[in-house]
Amino acid sequence: MRLYDALLRLYPASFRAEYGEEMRRLFARRRRDAQGAGAVAALWLGTAFDVAASALRTHLDILRQDLRFAARALSRAPGFALTAILVAAVGIGAATASYSVLDHVLVRPLPFPGADRLVDLWENDTEHGYGRTELSPANYRDWKSAARSFDGMAAYTIRSSNLAGEGTPERLEGAAATPELFGVLRVRAALGRVLTADDGRPGAEKTVLISDALWRRRFGSDPDVLGRKLLLDDAPHVVVGVMPPDFRFPGRDADVWTPLAFGASDYEDREDCYLKCVARLKPGVSVEKVRTEMRLVAAQLERAYPKENRRIGATVLRLRDEIAPESRWLLMALFGAAVGVLLIGCTNLASLLLARAIGRRRELAVRTAMGAGRERLVRQLLTESLVIAACAGAVGVLLAAAAGPLVARLVPNALPIAENPPLDLRMLAIAAVLTAATGIGFGVVPARRACREAAGANLHEDSRTGSGRATERLRAALVVAEVTASIVLLVSSGLLLRALWKLQGTDPGFRSEGVLALRTVLPMPRYEKTEERQKFYDRVLTQARGLPGVTHAAYISFLPMVARGMIQSVFLEGHTDGRDDGLASLRFVTPDYFAAMGIPVKAGRDVAPSDTAASPFVAVVSESFVKRYWPGQGALGRRFRFGQADRTVVGVVGDVRVRGLEGDSEPQVYVPSRQVPDGNYIGYVPRDLVIRSAVPAATLLPELRQIVAQADPLLPVSDVRPLSDLVASDTAPRRIQARALAAFAAVALGLAALGIHGLLSFTVSQRSREIGVRMALGATPRDILEMVLGRSAVLAGAGALLGGVLALGAAFAMRALLAGVSPADTATFGAAIGLAAAMTAAGSALPALRAVRVDPVTAIRTD
């Protein structure tokens, strides 16, 4: 019988109370009638089925009833329903959107089989303070043969190329990779094959592997693309395969992969470092173990080549961790803020539900008195809370999806993942469960208590006493929590905004207004000779300067903030021990570059057309270069060895933030483009064209394209943008994040105002009789106002104090993001507290007005 009792527990309690006893008796009789083991077994089987089926149906009946009831109850209180759903939806949406991007960028395995065993290998140069630098082919070869911990190792280098032929020439991003790359990543071609060792052999036909995107764009998804030829950098390349759409290596804009192979001459210069290296760990080998091994390998090489490999170590990083710390911080801060919004939303929901539960005490008491079981009432309220949570979840998904394009811009370009993170349903579920738990905790528990009290109590009982007061205290605590959280969010977003403004106010060293930039990359070997290139530059620049409104035009190898590296050793005159004196960034320029960029010439002169290979080699250096190497002395006429030649300083110019507005940049050295020896530095030759004009840059573009096409019809024009965009994109992730945080803070502020408004309205209506009595006894409206506002001021004050302390902690935690703004920035804290005060005033206004308008006579007569 005990088993049967246990089965009966499957029914709702109300059903059990009504019919349980009779069902037990019925079952007992059947059990007595059943003779023999077979009959007994059949009885149990039938009974279990009977109970399970009918219990399920009973529950479904009740659910249907409760859903109808909840829909009716919520539609009778649309204000409550809408507010509750929106409040929770905003939290759910924010948390889901920000976690989706966090998971996509930081957590989810990269889209390669066994991605957790993939690592990047870098050299590190402790002497000059660089943690990750590229490898030379010789060091790559030696690392590869010495290391034992890897299943495979591959090298690649970013190589973009000009695609000519049918249609407009196009600039394609991509990589040249050793054939091991595809085995290390464990990827196959979707069509055709990947690159093999045969592809790179000397004398072999040039081959190329193309991306799915390029295949669709350029070949209209033609399945017969294999074997067709692409004209890349003037050379025909046979298409051997098409990669699957989710293959985005090394970054998501890669379109072509060509073979990379080394000949004997490539191994000669150990300081010619241009290789990136990716490897797959053997199963069971930890990253720590590999780090130890690579340290030993690097030390061995340093002993073998003490000059070239001096203090060169090895850095091993998981491919997954190949993400800038700022990006990581930005995402974490964003997620933290979103969780804050979710918690505030839940707090507000709790407050709303508490108020509703109190407001419903009488209704519940009536229904209890009419015989409704407490269990049934609680279950109905539970359903109501769950309906709110479900609606909020649905609206939250819509909000998260709408926020998708915004957060997608926080996905770093350099990771081999898609740009748009998929919505993370786990986070959605967690957020919805949290909302539902809030609904249950704050909607059902007080209602249950109210029912219990009401069960035997007087229906006329005034709800001001007992649990009413306790609830009010709880709601006051919730308001304090909301103010606290909004202060934390306000301060965080305020500090990030200050940091952003500070960076945006940073002088990049050049004037970007009115400057258009575009790129034309001269293909090699056609332009190997310096003279050939110079003809092109001269022709384009002369014609460009002839366009109406153009004041200056020049070429440079790489614009600042575009390529941040290209760092060379500086050897001052008279040093002979072979060790360098420091590093500087190298750029080749044509005359007029400084004028075009608005970089001030502080002393001496610009590079000139007369600075040719036949004349003495010269250089223009930045002020920081002079400060570092010849402090307090004149620099003009001084000599130093840099970029494979001895050079004389002929000019000094202002500093430029080559590495972006944040962080430090190396001193800069500019070398005339005519003084590049033939076939040297072919990756560094000028390619970025800058035009300063008095007319809108966009109007020049068609003519500029024509000028380039006339100079070389096979040459694509790419990366067209105003220089101001370049500067703006340097702070773009911060802008997005500051905006998102500010939006979160605004939402939090609004929610807190709503919370204060709700609490005070409730208090005022609960205490209207007391207010009436006070007024009858001679209290002035001013006294009443002081009573109501005093209360909100106390709550807001407590929240501000607590929030201030927590915000200070948060600010110190994210100091890395503040770009030098003090974590205890007074202005920010002051503004946050001011906003919180304004919010409190706004939330208190209506209830205070209502309190003042209480009519003593009516109030005292109530009840």
Partner 1 sequence: MQDGDVSGGTALPLPPATFHILMSLAEEDRHGYAILQDVARRTRGAVKLGPGTLYRSIQRMLEQGLVEETRERPAPEDDDERRRYYRITPRGTAVARAEARRLASLVELARSSGLVPRKA
Check binding of 50 to partner 1 (CB under 8 A): yes
Check binding of 47 to partner 1 (CB under 8 A): yes
- Report the residue number, 42 or 425, with the smaller CB distance to partner 1: 42
Q: How far is the CB of 58 from partner 1 (least distance, A)?
A: 5
Q: How far is the CB of 19 from partner 1 (least distance, A)?
A: 4
- Report the residue number, 33 or 166, with the smaller CB distance to partner 1: 33
In this structure, which amino acid lies at residue 364?
A: L
- Report the residue number, 30 or 853, with the smaller CB distance to partner 1: 30
Separation between Cα atoms, residue 257 and residue 107, nearest integer Å:
28
Residue from 13, 31, 34, 54 binding partner 1 (CB under 8 A): 54
Written as six digits, the tokens of 175 are 């990589």
- Can you tell me which residue has the tokens 């402090």? 631
Written as six digits, the tokens of 284 are 């069971």
Check binding of 376 to partner 1 (CB under 8 A): no
All residues at 6 or more sequence positions from 690 whose CB lies less than 8 Å from its CB, including other chains: 515, 516, 517, 552, 553, 554, 555, 556, 559, 593, 596, 597, 723
Written as six digits, the tokens of 48 are 């279990």
- Report the residue number, 54 or 83, with the smaller CB distance to partner 1: 54
Residue from 41, 46, 282, 470 binding partner 1 (CB under 8 A): 46
- Report the residue number, 58 or 504, with the smaller CB distance to partner 1: 58
Stretch that binds partner 1, among 47-55, 99-107, 196-204, 844-852 (CB under 8 A): 47-55
Q: For residue 105, how many other CB atoms are within 10 A of its CB?
A: 21
- Report the residue number, 61 or 513, with the smaller CB distance to partner 1: 61
- Report the residue number, 42 or 107, with the smaller CB distance to partner 1: 42
Separation between Cα atoms, residue 399 and residue 404, nearest integer Å:
9
- Report the residue number, 25 or 579, with the smaller CB distance to partner 1: 25
Check binding of 62 to partner 1 (CB under 8 A): no
Check binding of 44 to partner 1 (CB under 8 A): no
Q: How far is the CB of 16 from partner 1 (least distance, A)?
A: 10
DSSP conformational letter for 321: G
- Report the residue number, 16 or 674, with the smaller CB distance to partner 1: 16
Stretch that binds partner 1, among 52-60, 414-422, 665-673, 763-771 (CB under 8 A): 52-60
- Report the residue number, 39 or 794, with the smaller CB distance to partner 1: 39
The torsion angle over the Cα atoms of residues 601, 603, 609 and 610, rounded to 10 degrees, is 180
Stretch that binds partner 1, among 55-63, 116-124, 451-459, 587-595 (CB under 8 A): 55-63
Residue from 17, 53, 429, 455 binding partner 1 (CB under 8 A): 53
Subset of residues 576 to 605 that bind partner 1, contact rule: CB under 8 A: none
Strands 276-281 and 229-232 turn out to be unpaired
Written as six digits, the tokens of 74 are 């919520």
Phi, psi of 23 (to 5 degrees): -65, -40
SS3 390: helix
Stretch that binds partner 1, among 41-49, 601-609, 709-717, 825-833 (CB under 8 A): 41-49
- Report the residue number, 69 or 681, with the smaller CB distance to partner 1: 69
Check binding of 58 to partner 1 (CB under 8 A): yes
Check binding of 640 to partner 1 (CB under 8 A): no
Beta carbons of 650 and 605 less than 8 angstroms apart: yes
- Of the candidates 801, 794, 810, the residue with the CA atom closest to the CA atom of residue 489: 810
Subset of residues 3 to 32 that bind partner 1, contact rule: CB under 8 A: 11, 15, 18-19, 21-23, 25-27, 29
All residues at 6 or more sequence positions from 734 whose CB lies less than 8 Å from its CB, including other chains: 330, 496, 499, 500, 503
DSSP conformational letter for 526: T
Q: Total number of residues binding partner 1 (CB under 8 A)?
A: 22
Check binding of 61 to partner 1 (CB under 8 A): yes
Separation between Cα atoms, residue 253 and residue 244, nearest integer Å:
14
Separation between Cα atoms, residue 788 and residue 761, nearest integer Å:
10
- Report the residue number, 50 or 321, with the smaller CB distance to partner 1: 50
If 0-12 CB within 10 Å is exposed, 13-18 middle and 19+ buried, where does residue 747 land?
Answer: buried
- Of the candidates 404, 399, 396, 481, the residue with the CA atom closest to the CA atom of residue 435: 396
- Of the candidates 640, 594, 596, the residue with the CA atom closest to the CA atom of residue 619: 640
The torsion angle over the Cα atoms of residues 532, 538, 543 and 546, rounded to 10 degrees, is 180
Beta carbons of 666 and 609 less than 8 angstroms apart: no
Q: How far is the CB of 382 from partner 1 (least distance, A)?
A: 21
Residue from 57, 201, 627, 853 binding partner 1 (CB under 8 A): 57
Separation between Cα atoms, residue 697 and residue 699, nearest integer Å:
5
Q: How far is the CB of 10 from partner 1 (least distance, A)?
A: 9
Check binding of 469 to partner 1 (CB under 8 A): no
**Where along the sequence are the contacts to partner 1 (CB under 8 A)?**
11, 15, 18-19, 21-23, 25-27, 29, 46-47, 49-51, 53-55, 57-58, 61
